[in-house]
Amino acid sequence: MKYIPKYLLTILFCAGILGSCAEKQDFDQLDNLDITPTAEASILYVETPEYLINQVTGINFYSQTFNFDAFSEEFFSDNVLDGVITYELENTTSKPLDITFEFLDQAGNSLDSENFMVNAAPTAILTREIAYGPAGRSLDIIRNTSAIRVSAANLGDNTSVSSLPNPTIFLRSSAKFRIRLK
């Protein structure tokens, strides 16, 4: 009889140790977890000094197609949700310029284009944001882009020189896109 309290203690102890429980957990919530970071990086930078523009006769002083596979990479194109491409043009030359960005697919077809008319210096920096996705242009443009073509036309003369130091036309661009990781 004297051991009864000990046995009771033992039973209670084991029940305490082994009788643990847990509130109901809902691991299916994982299905609702959205991991959609927004990544941003520069795309393309082109700078052309005014003396080079002056050397080219004719209106179109520059046109070049750049291979650009970042958007068509499988991971990106499969998971991109929406985003914005930002363009910035800074003109310190003495000429008004007509600049066009074009997104091309693998076959060289134009998917989308953005045109900029830039006044001769002194003029403000021109910034433009183009949205893609549900609230903007079709994401298929981005998904299928394999190259970027930049064309520039000189709407001025071929002799004038800006009074600003190192007169140049700067084309800057960046992309900010939301991607679904899960």
Partner 1 sequence: MIRTLLSLIILFAGYMTCCAQNKEVLYDFQEIPQAIMVNPGMNTIYNWYAGIPFISGIYGEGATSGLTVNDIFAADGLDINQKVRDRALNSLGESDEVNGIFQVDILNGGFRSQKNPANFFSFGMYIEGYALNYWPKDLAILAYEGNADKLGQRFDLNDLNASGQFINVLHFGINRQIKNNLTLGARIKLYSGIIDINSTNNSGYFETTSGQNNLLRNTLVSDMRLRTSGLDALLDANDNGSSLGSLFTKRGLFGGDPGLGFDLGVTYNLNKQTVITGSLLDIGLLYHTSDVTNYTIEGSASIEGVEVILPDALSDPNADFWEDLVDEIEELIPFEENSKNYVTFRPIKFYSSIRYNFGKQGEPISADCDCDIKSDGGDRSLYYLNSVGAQLYAISRPRGPQFALTAFYQRRFAKVLALKATYTVDKFTASNVGLGMSLQAGPVNLYVMGDNLFSYGNVADSNYASFQLGLNIISWEIN
Binding residues for partner 1 (CB under 8 A): 3, 6, 9-10, 13-14, 16-27, 29-30, 32-35, 37-49, 52, 62, 64, 66-70, 86, 88, 170, 172-174, 176, 178-179, 181
Complete edge-to-edge strand list for the sheet that includes strand 60-67: 60-67, 147-154, 97-104, 110-118
Least separation in angstroms between CB 37 and partner 1: 3
3-state DSSP of 130-153:
EEECCCCECHHHHHHCCEEEEEEE
Closer Cβ to partner 1, 39 or 155, answer by number: 39
Closer Cβ to partner 1, 85 or 121, answer by number: 85
Closer Cβ to partner 1, 41 or 107, answer by number: 41
d(CA 54, CA 50): 6
Least separation in angstroms between CB 20 and partner 1: 4
Alpha-carbon dihedral angle through residues 7, 13, 18, 23, given to the nearest 10 degrees = 140
Cα–Cα separations (whole angstroms), residue 91 to 33, 100, 115, 129, 154: 46, 14, 15, 18, 12
Least separation in angstroms between CB 160 and partner 1: 19
Least separation in angstroms between CB 95 and partner 1: 15
Q: 88 is written with which tokens? A: 């910035």
Closer Cβ to partner 1, 20 or 159, answer by number: 20
